[in-house]
Chain A
């Protein structure tokens, strides 16, 4: 079947189609959104749904076709580049092509992005069905998919940055999708601004990369930022590797919501829930991890930078997990959980376990997207209610949502055989194996907390007594089929997704690790010690028991003994309040950074410097002066012919006079 496909299109064209399909969807839907009044929207809903869902599905099909083709190569490196579609920037000192690179890493990412993306698009058909901005929503969501695919498939760092900024833009647009609500628009702005800080570091990193490549006398024509070229000139990065890695990681901190720039992600939950699932759980926020793995050949040059990555990741994993314990908004719980899980991925990347980071990235995309979609299903059924204290016992009314949520919760808690068990275990074990016992301990504790807070949500929402008023309870119903189907598919993936990296010790073959090994040379250089096998089993079992223990604990307490935690919270009220208020980080940022900046901006820069001097004297002053002169000059135009002749004569006299002198 693939053979007949390749008779029609070359594999390079197919790669371009992956990015082209969502772009086409965005264009069609944007045209519909712009061209139709809100009232007429109903007529186009079918068209929007069709293009909005079908084109991402085609992109997925294209990715899958390429992936299958690549798996058929044996012993040969199946990765390829499309070559440049066009040269974007051509100067004597810089050439940037627009080209794609399909390799083992990017195709996995593309599969995940298009696959999960398609499911979430399908889910949105039901979830956003009644919204007036339906076409705009799909236009922006498709556009996001396009930029995300550009980000992962780009063959150079600049194009990747284009995707990086593009997803940031779409994230901003979609967080503030209901922009009539000031608070939501503001959340979008916050996300955008915080991301800008990270992007500043990223840009600085790019400049340094340029400087390195230029000083290495790399050929300009093939592009300084081409990944291929960068890895070929790897050795030249040694002196600057720490700085470049840290700057690039600064960008990742912003995009992937790590300490200290994680503050935008909880607020980003203001967007529609499918958006949270797609952008703020499965895809965009993982871009930072992807970037670190993609550039592992630079990061690996600097042990210091890697240890910073690992430490920040571990700290975030723990810190965000504790904050997840006290949240009462179902989406906020998931948001902190996302931050925490991203921390795991960075910890993995930081200790050099790059393929484990990607493994967790993929399984996390499955189960976290599922958690969000289930949450959306609950919110949809509860007419917008998000506080878990006002829920309970929902399994009776929404069985599919309930059991798929439980599967996802088991996965994130790391209970075997769900996918999360394998991916999290890979991270923890590889951290342990490399002797990073401190990091391992942090990850271990965070794993327990994760299991606890997620089953707290399970207990509060789906089990125990219902806190829903009876008249509302009657109206609660299971979601429509278009929303249920993605839940079921994702539940299967969350449950079975672990097959991609069953470790050798359990009779598997760690397929993902083998698949990515060609890209991550530094990881394979580390030869596993055979005597570690026993320890691996022990660590695995301990982690599993530890997680299960917290699963049970969380579920029991919050489904049956809800008064216990309140009593505990009273006893440790100081700590509880500290955690419940998210360590006052937002407030600290507000006092330390936002307000002083605001003050300086308002009083000094705006009112004094700008209003008085620049605007008042320079800008308006100049304009006023020009205006005055314009009036004077035009007064000379009297319409009286004699005066015109006089001007003429004066001119003649002046010229002749000048020549005579």
Chain B
């Protein structure tokens, strides 16, 4: 149970929480800057944000490398898993910041509080991935989400942005209710919200009288997480929100938010699913199939690359869910496969969205796939990078996307869910259509003169060094871990 105040080792908690404090301090500075400083066009806040992220990253990395065992404070768990995932989150937050600088500048809407919100959301994710208790999960999710709701509507002069924020917020509130109700039911049936305690006692609970309450509670939790990871049928918000939100925020939602939610879900699953596994296996596999099918099918007909990537993101959530039924029999393998996939997914999705950011650096945001026509001639390097990311998302070797899918499906096959993998592979084949289409358009379609004019606007913008950095890092990552997957596998194995 919860340790007493006096029993807590405050110094080691401070030690562990130092990166969080750095992030929090940076967020506070950002908000103070917003309130006190008039001049809005400076690079001070984003650079300060990046520095804070870098410091937090360095501290956490040191922690990950240190051979010390993980620490549990009941509510918070600092193990290799949480540190590793937080590193991934910091990485994608840094990428969002890098993309935001030119994006906001192009719109003349540079506000320091933007970065403050981003940092606060990152802090929420820290709680979420380190949560050892359902209440902490809830706290993390809410801290993370509240900031992201605001960020999604940050371009307040744009109707689409406002719509995105409102939809996200309303459905998010709805989902939070489910989550909270689930926590209540679990507490009612198990007498605790601590994940470690639940893991110990779930077999006992499942055999006892509280079984149905407990099941109901976990189902509610499942629904709450289903919303966060955009699993069908709790996904409907995702395309609208991803499309309407500012693109760097979309990147943040698609990578960091998703990774945090998935890892928390994974933690919950490892503690809870082992008892009464069969029930969850059915729910999870049906969810995986529905999510993959819907994401891939709907992505086919999208004309807007942002929406297409939104559906692709749903489809990828489906692929990750394919590994979840394996938690019951092989929690370690499933966890590693999921972590590997999340890492790969962050790299390739962030890269692909970065190209969308480049497209949107003009006055309007031309994100139609047809606007890509002729990109292969006009900007060969950019087109080649996007091709790399799309091929990786599709899962073509030697990109990291291939091995990510491979380990995921391998885990499922090892646990005997061959039919699930067959469906997943068929879905991968369907996804080839919409991932290859932008490539075809870029290299083989001649831009129509009308489109060409609008394009001219974006063309005048030279590539910002920040975006070049993002593209270079993600492309190198996709290629490097595609050729040497064993390095990433070693990191992942060390984390779970």
Contacts and interface: CB of A to CB of B under 8 A. Distances in A.
B72 interface: no
A642 B10 CA distance: 48
Contact of B240 (A633, A639, A648, A658): A639
Nearest to B280: A659
B282 A651 contact: no
A658 B283 contact: yes
B301 A651 contact: no
Nearest to B295: A633
Contact of B236 (A626, A643, A652): A643
B300 A627 contact: yes
B442 to A, nearest CB: 21
Given A658-B282, A659-B215, A648 B171 contact: yes
A631 B299 CA distance: 10
Contacts of A656: 216, 219
A658 B284 CA distance: 12
Contact of A641 (B167, B216, B234, B302): B167
A88 B171 CA distance: 56
B171 A641 contact: yes
B236 A637 contact: yes
Contacts of B216: 656, 659
Nearest to B240: A639
A651 B300 contact: no
Given A641-B171, A648-B233, A633 B283 contact: no
B233 A651 contact: yes
B298 A630 contact: yes
A512 to B, nearest CB: 49
A636 B295 CA distance: 12
Contacts, number: 75
B468 interface: no
Nearest to B307: A637
Interface stretch (B29-37, B220-228, B358-366, B485-493): B220-228
Given A648-B171, A651-B223, A659 B279 contact: yes
A641 B226 CA distance: 17
B236 A630 contact: no
A656 B279 CA distance: 11
Interface residues of B, number: 35
A647 B175 CA distance: 12
A648 B235 CA distance: 8
Contacts of A658: 282-283
Given A652-B178, A656-B216, A647 B297 contact: no
Contact of B233 (A629, A630, A650): A650
A268 to B, nearest CB: 34
A659 B234 CA distance: 18
A634 B307 CA distance: 11
B73 interface: no
Contacts of A633: 293-294, 297-298
B239 interface: yes
A655 interface: yes
A589 interface: no
B325 to A, nearest CB: 15
A645 B215 contact: no
Contacts of B178: 652
B237 interface: yes
Contacts of B227: 648
Interface in A597-650: 623, 626-627, 629-631, 633-634, 636-637, 639, 641, 643-645, 647-648, 650
Contacts of A623: 433
Contacts of B302: 634
Contact of A630 (B220, B239, B301): B301
B298 to A, nearest CB: 4
A652 B239 contact: no
Nearest to A655: B219
B430 interface: yes
Contacts of B212: 659-660
Contacts of B297: 626, 629-630, 633-634
B236 A655 contact: no
B472 interface: no
A5 B273 CA distance: 72
A627 to B, nearest CB: 7
Contact of B234 (A629, A637, A639, A648): A648
Contacts of B279: 659
Interface string A53-76: 000000000000000000000000
A626 to B, nearest CB: 6
B170 A641 contact: yes
Interface in B193-246: 212, 215-216, 219-220, 222-223, 226-227, 232-234, 236-237, 239-240
Contacts of B236: 636-637, 643-644, 647-648
A626 B239 contact: no
Contact of A637 (B223, B239, B283, B300): B239
Given A626-B300, A637-B298, A651-B226, A644 B282 contact: no
A658 B174 CA distance: 21
A659 B233 contact: no
Interface string A521-535: 000000000000000
Given A626-B430, A631-B301, A647 B233 contact: yes
A644 B237 contact: yes
A630 B300 contact: yes
A630 B301 CA distance: 6
B174 A645 contact: yes
A317 B215 CA distance: 87
A587 B223 CA distance: 74
Given A626-B430, A637-B239, A647-B236, A655 B298 contact: no
A627 B301 CA distance: 8
Contacts of A639: 240
A637 B232 CA distance: 12
Interface in B268-297: 279, 282-283, 293-294, 297
A323 B216 CA distance: 91
Contacts of B174: 645, 648
Contact of B219 (A629, A636, A637, A659): A659
A340 to B, nearest CB: 50
Interface of A: 623, 626-627, 629-631, 633-634, 636-637, 639, 641, 643-645, 647-648, 650-652, 655-656, 658-660
23 contacts: A626-B297, A626-B300, A630-B301, A631-B301, A633-B293, A633-B294, A633-B298, A634-B297, A634-B302, A641-B167, A644-B167, A644-B237, A645-B174, A647-B233, A647-B234, A648-B227, A648-B233, A652-B219, A652-B223, A655-B283, A659-B216, A659-B283, A660-B212
3 nearest interchain CB pairs? A651-B233, A644-B236, A630-B300
Given A634-B302, A643-B236, 10 more contacts: A626-B433, A629-B297, A634-B301, A636-B236, A647-B234, A648-B174, A648-B233, A651-B232, A651-B233, A652-B178
